[in-house]
Structure 1
């Protein structure tokens, strides 16, 4: 039960000796003290040997780099980057998806330029429609997003031939300085240079970086560093002069010293692995105090050791999800990706880059389908169309739970990354000896010698980590020692968080907090700091007890404890601010949000000032209006802190407002749609034969199951779905067809044209129909489902394994639902 109002002290009270501590812990229990010695001299940034292109824009802004971090206009910069493949998303959806990413705190868009998408037929380049790189980059610039363009020429990205056109493979050896190959690359790079002309950083454009090649480890004549250097020279000669040139740094990568920057990554699962059972615990959930490679990214040819250099720890492929392959179909939960964030930041990462952040769909090929497949000599089979990747934003723009969880960390980095970037990493006295070692608490500290952050992770995908009972952290600093928290706590299995210590709050100092720092906004010259409550850990703020300092908290207990003022039993929500001030100064305010409130809170500028909007609906903003979206519910509600100056209008609907003071609460509605549709079974499935295994590989000696080819779908069960044609209106963003089925592979078609496909992993298959309306005409949709054999050598999560009873194969369309996604566009009216 949470005490409120008059039941709690509204002022500083003396410390009371209690028979039972406030957290309910029995007195006398021995604490598990985790010691982290941060007394060693903090790392000092020094010049880097890396030399890129032009660092200054024509308007005088400058990107820099030293041994520790990037800088923006000479200020330390720790940005968030998300991968978005423009050619895998229809162009009329780009802007909305970019706005969603920006609203979630993403600052840099990374994107592959996939060669086969642009020159499938030799000499016939296509930069139109969804392949219009120039327009995509212009949209990024329009909304203040930076861009890193990954130009390959080999990209992988689960594309046919790793992105190479078929004709290129017939001409000469590839991925080397072979003259014939390099001549073709020069033509491709020249096309990219023409697309990006005027859009580079030096010209005040958004493009700040170029990635060369991908996962490149070849060494030998015409290969190795000579090839990467030749690609860099070719890019520059074709006008691609940018501050940052990168290469991926895993798999024994080739990294010419001083010429390129290594970027790293790590994934929550390994769908390329041959195993059809659960994988062992993943080291992407373990702090990395030596090396930068993580997350199942070792290969037989590679090495987990990565030389520490005079360049910062930058990442580009931390998994926002994974792409299901035919033989391995993991289901990624939001905690699987969110728990990686404190681990990588606590390991020293100073650029947080996701792959993918926005899912997509492969475009139609003129000659072939464009997905990676074993039939074309590549390691895995992926769906012909779907590249959803279980990303925070799905292939049809769905905002997944991970989108909200990650946003909490992004807002922290947007507001406090400049301080974090300058902080050195310090390991605990005891650290795990392996990814499967759960005997010690996983923690790290980053500090500049005075202030810093404590990173803790007790989450490992697929494993039940133990409760860390009676835990306390002892942080040794050059001139002081901290115990966090003052009273030991239990850290539950699955918890992960970042806690600040000695954080400056205006003229006062937060000695520590057992709530995660979230974001900051300034209203009426008062800085308000927002924190997220960690589940089942009592939130406590301890403020340095400076002379003349007062704390007012109507819904909390405030106590003086020696050199600190402790604030505990804190009510959550916008309506429960804690005021800290000295004399008549404005001071600062602290607001604690529950985990759910923080995940539902969105930072946006509405009336010329910053606000936090709390809503359960999906959210994005273009800073002149904002949009809420809701699946199946024609009503919306949200709260705004501080109150919005001026009235809001809900386009096409009704909006009511309540509340006084600093928080207003809004409820709205738009006309409800009643979408009716019919399902008719057209054909029963036939018995499917044993599947084939693909060839063994040098790094994967065991062959894995191959996906069925097009001819196999003659054996599939088939259904006809007749849907209404009025799927578009000003208050409908999309209409989702959600299918639950038993079986192996499913396809959605119209008149024989494949719209989408799905490798069944046990989760419902969701298809956004908006983009298919031009193709649908008057004909019905057809769903084809291939049966799943009992003996199929395919990995499924244990919770999603099919029940066969006494059958040798199963196939069934369990349910289909048509769900409108309602759109609530809010416009701001003049006062």
Structure 2
């Protein structure tokens, strides 16, 4: 009997444990239940005081309470920051084209006062300051412009961009002080003159104006000041469709659009520890409350109701400060922006999309950069404003260029549909940055159809794969499980899935592949997706399909309307005939192919996809350039549709040969007829003038110590625009042998080194600098030097043990940074070829 009772007790305990496990499992699964509505509430459009919104050719811009309008239709803008004054004017055009190739439609740029009026009353709009020329190039290439004129801009510039002479006057800055307004108005008038002829109402590219920056105008005096600046700008002639601010303001003000921001890290933060931010949470839309906290403290990050949900500063990279050596990956950048898109964002504003170099203040033998000397809590390099941007300080593409291009291609073809959706979230949201059992999710829908956003990503936290993942989507009438069977959601992964997507007359119920682009060719469209670590599954509404053809390597289940692919990799293609006889083409590429994708227009308004590792720029109608930095100059191109497009070289000394005309893609190989073989050499230099080096360091520190922000454990950049020896330095003379040849436009140099920071000089003048954050420094030789045969002096300084610095990815090799050393220098040619991409002639 005792054994029977024990068995009963054990059975009872096991039963209770099973019930608890089921309940716990159900509770966990509830995290993925999302209630959506079959119809959305009407969008309320506020009456805002914007400017002239129609230009002579009839094009127009407007807004609703949720999104912007272009020609009366929903518009999802892709805006990227490029501080034109920080780049060589001779290369502006190529960089504008590179930004356009990356999917940018609008270029935003600070106009930085201190660069243009270093001496009171003397304005300089020449050379790299030539705003008029920059606007002309933007107009030439069909790029809109959003100017950010301050007067205070921050931009990691001393005084926030105010000239030194203005700082010396006894006036109340950033207020309605009459003297301050007088000088600001003189500056505005100069800006307005440079912009004249390029306002949207004149047929030009300027569609937006941001006034001030990071000025909290929730309170009456600041709000009145913002309105005063706007009146002044309009009076001076700056009349544009959109006026914006980048800071919190009143809930129901009617003067400015709000724009939000978010960064993967905060290099301005005083901590020297890893800083894990909640910006990767998918939750109702909020701005990053840490932006500007170095000057303002924590700010109100709430999104104001009834204003377009657009952004101005989504961190497309991260600038390094001396005390925080932040190293961000392409995924760190993209996953942050992805979370905002999932939350309801209706316009990208990347900061920075293109890096640059801050001009030197040679008159004062120092820099214009933000520093503790200028009473900021941060130190920047004197020159380097690379920002780890998609296009760096000298236009070198970073991995984030391709990563963000995935979202930009999606925004171009699906943005108008996305803007009209509303986001819905699970009842239980992720709150811990260290939670390892939750896939974050949202569904953006209109009338029950839209896109699913999923993320299992948190910067600096290694999240495991989540098993048994499945969404339950409840519209109040029916409940649908997506995907139909639970899956394992990969670690460090984020993805967009289509949900009830209308593909012409065919309805895609859902798919576990991500929408990339839509290719129009005559009357036929190809819907392009990409696959990743999750097995592809595409479920169609059978009632909209007549038949599926041309499918190879995957399985079509006509009964369930499902295509599944057991292949672990590779692209695939199929065609769907709708019930009405309409043909729909579907192409699914790999994620690696998607990262190489460009969409172009070629003859007769037809579109094609180009897959290449090279950077593509459209130079003229059907003429393009391809740029790559490698040893042999070889570029491979694949095209889709395979039968319609031909690529021809139009550069002398360069051949382009078709090597394959496969079922899906045609392949072409471009080669230079003569290879280019540059070389780099470096050798140490002994400098025994120890006393002079120590004396110079002491003199610099004596200046630094006068700042209230000085921290001896974070001394900052102890160098000047002119070369001086420093204690414990390692000096090297580097020489480069580079001879021109067909297709070569520059040479890309990679320096591998250990140490605290590295500076480079030619003729004793600083030409580049870097706070070490990953042990690698890349630069373009022609950009730095007018004569590549001239040697470059490299100075590397070591870390001192007592320094209090956040080293990020260098933490594991910190002992190496105590010993300054150049380990290796490599150099490869930068090839740029011109090609014609045309419609293949039918014989």
Q: 1:792 aligns with which of 797, 800, 803?
A: 803
**Alpha-carbon distance between aligned partners in 1 of 2:236 and 2:556, rounded to the nearest angstrom:** 64
CA pair 214-695 structure 1, distance change in 2 beyond 3 A: farther
Match of residue 737, structure 2, among 708, 711, 724: 724
* CA distance in structure 2 between the partners assigned to 1:70 and 1:166 by the alignment: 38
Looking at structure 2, the residues matched to 456 and 618 of structure 1 have their Cα atoms a distance apart, in angstroms, of 30
Show the 5 A alignment for 1:138-177. 138-171=136-169, 172-177=171-176
- More displaced 10-residue stretch of structure 1: 334-343 or 622-631: 622-631
Q: CA deviation at 1:342?
A: 2.2
Q: For residues 705 and 50 of structure 2, what CA distance do their matches in structure 1 show? A: 42
CA distance in 1, matches of 2:217, 2:43: 32
Q: Deviations over 1:127-179 (max 9, x none)?
A: 11111111111111111111100000111111121111101111222111111
Q: Matched residues in 2 for 1:191 and 1:386: separation? A: 28
Alpha-carbon distance in 2 for matches of 1:202, 1:472: 51
In the alignment, is residue 763 of structure 1 matched against residue 775 of structure 2? Answer: yes
- CA distance change for structure 1 residues 81 and 427 in 2, over 3 Å: closer, same or farther? same
The answer to whether the 8 A contact 1:697-1:703 is kept is: no
The 2-side partners of 1:723 and 1:640 are apart by: 37
Distance apart, 1:493 and its partner CA: 1.3
Which whole-Å CA distance do the structure 2 matches of 1:340 and 1:135 have between them?
Answer: 34
**Alignment match, 2:284:** 289
Distance 1:777 1:471 in 2: 57
Shift of 1:794: 1.2
1:89 and 2:87 correspond: yes
- Residue 267 (structure 1) aligned to one of 263, 267, 273: 263
The 8 Å contact of residues 713 and 803 in structure 2, kept in 1 or not, is answered as no
Would you say 1:403 and 2:413 are equivalent positions? Answer: no
Shift of 1:695: 9.1
TM alignment of 1:413-812, pairs within 5 A: 413-535=411-533, 537-546=534-543, 549-552=546-549, 553-562=551-560, 564-569=561-566, 576-582=572-578, 585-608=581-604, 609-622=606-619, 623-632=621-630, 633-643=632-642, 644-646=644-646, 648-651=648-651, 652-660=653-661, 663-670=665-672, 671-683=674-686, 704-710=714-720, 713-715=725-727, 716-724=729-737, 726=739, 728-774=740-786, 776=787, 779-804=790-815, 809-812=818-821
- Residues 557 and 570 in structure 1, CA contact (< 8 A), matched pair in contact too: no
The alpha-carbon distance between structure 1 residues 823 and 290, as it changes in their structure 2 partners (threshold 3 A), is closer
Distance in 2 (alpha carbons) for counterparts of 1:134 and 1:435:
46
Q: For 1:460 and 1:694, locate their aligned partners in 2 and report how far apart those are by CA, in whole Å.
A: 39
Distance, in Å, in 1 between the alignment partners of 2:525 and 2:646 is: 22
| Shift in CA distance, 59/797, structure 1 to aligned 2, threshold 3 Å | same
Q: Which residue is 2:390 aligned to?
A: 392
Contact 1:734–1:820, Cα closer than 8 Å, also in 2? yes
Question: Using the alignment, how far apart are the partners of 1:788 and 1:619 within structure 2?
Answer: 40
2:380 corresponds in structure 1 to 382
Kept after mapping to 1: 8 A contact 2:470/2:481:
yes
* Structure 2 match to 1:823: 832
Contact 2:553-2:565 at 8 Å conserved across structures: no
Structure 2 Cα separation of the partners of residues 505 and 572 of structure 1 = 25
Q: Secondary structure at the match of 1:327?
A: coil
CA distance in 1, matches of 2:238, 2:355: 27
Mark the CA change 1:50 to 1:220 in structure 2 (over 3 Å): closer, same or farther.
closer
Shift of 1:90: 0.5
* Structure 2 CA distance for aligned equivalents of residues 131 and 517 of structure 1: 41
> Relative contact order, CA 8 A, sep 6+: which one is greater?
1
- Conservation of the 8 A alpha-carbon contact between 1:331 and 1:797: yes
TM-score normalized by structure 2? 0.89
Q: 1:829 to 1:567 in 2, by over 3 A?
A: closer
**CA–CA separation in structure 2 for the residues paired with 1:205 and 1:478:** 49
Structure 1: tracts of 5 or more residues without a match: 1-28
Distance 1:581 1:567, change over 3 A: farther
Identify if the C-alpha distance between structure 1 residues 75 and 227 changes in structure 2 by more than 3 Å, giving closer, same or farther: same
CA positional deviation for 1:237: 0.7
Identify if the C-alpha distance between structure 1 residues 513 and 307 changes in structure 2 by more than 3 Å, giving closer, same or farther.
closer
Deviations 1:73-102 (A, max 9, x none): 110011111000100110111111111111
Residue number in structure 2 paired with 1:214: 213
1:127 aligns to what?
A: 125
In the alignment, the residues of structure 2 paired with residue 138 and residue 128 of structure 1 have an alpha-carbon distance, to the nearest angstrom, of 14
Change (3 A) 1:283 1:544: same
Residue 616 of structure 1 deviates from its aligned partner by 2.2
Residue 22 of structure 2 is matched in structure 1 by none
Shift of 1:676: 2.5
SS of the equivalent of 1:482 reads strand
Partner of 1:239 in structure 2? 237
With over 3 angstroms needed to count, the CA separation of the structure-2 counterparts of 1:778 and 1:448, relative to structure 1, is: closer
Moved more, 702-711 or 623-632: 702-711
Choose 617-626 or 403-412, whichever is displaced more.
Answer: 617-626
Change (3 A) 1:611 1:293: same
Partner Cα distance (2:810, 2:766) in 1: 30
Give the TM-score of the pair, scaled to structure 1: 0.90
Aligned to 2:11: none
Structural RMSD (CA): 2.7
Give the 3 Å change call, closer, same or farther, for CA 768–696 of structure 1 in structure 2. Answer: same
**Alpha-carbon distance, 1:296 to partner:** 6.0
SS of 2:360's equivalent in the other structure is: coil
Q: Describe the SS at the equivalent of 1:214.
A: coil
**Contact 2:33–2:471 (CA under 8 A) maintained in structure 1:** yes
C-alpha separation between the residues in 1 aligned to 2:789 and 2:303? 60
| Aligned residue number for residue 13 of structure 2 | none
**Could you tell which deviates more after superposition, 701-710 or 48-57?**
701-710
SS across alignment from 1:810 = coil
Aligned to 1:224: 222
Secondary structure class of the residue paired with 1:330 = coil
Cα distance in 2, alignment partners of residues 50 and 555 from structure 1:
55
- Which segment drifts farther, 312-321 or 762-771? 762-771
Cα distance in structure 2, aligned partners of 1:532 and 1:312: 30
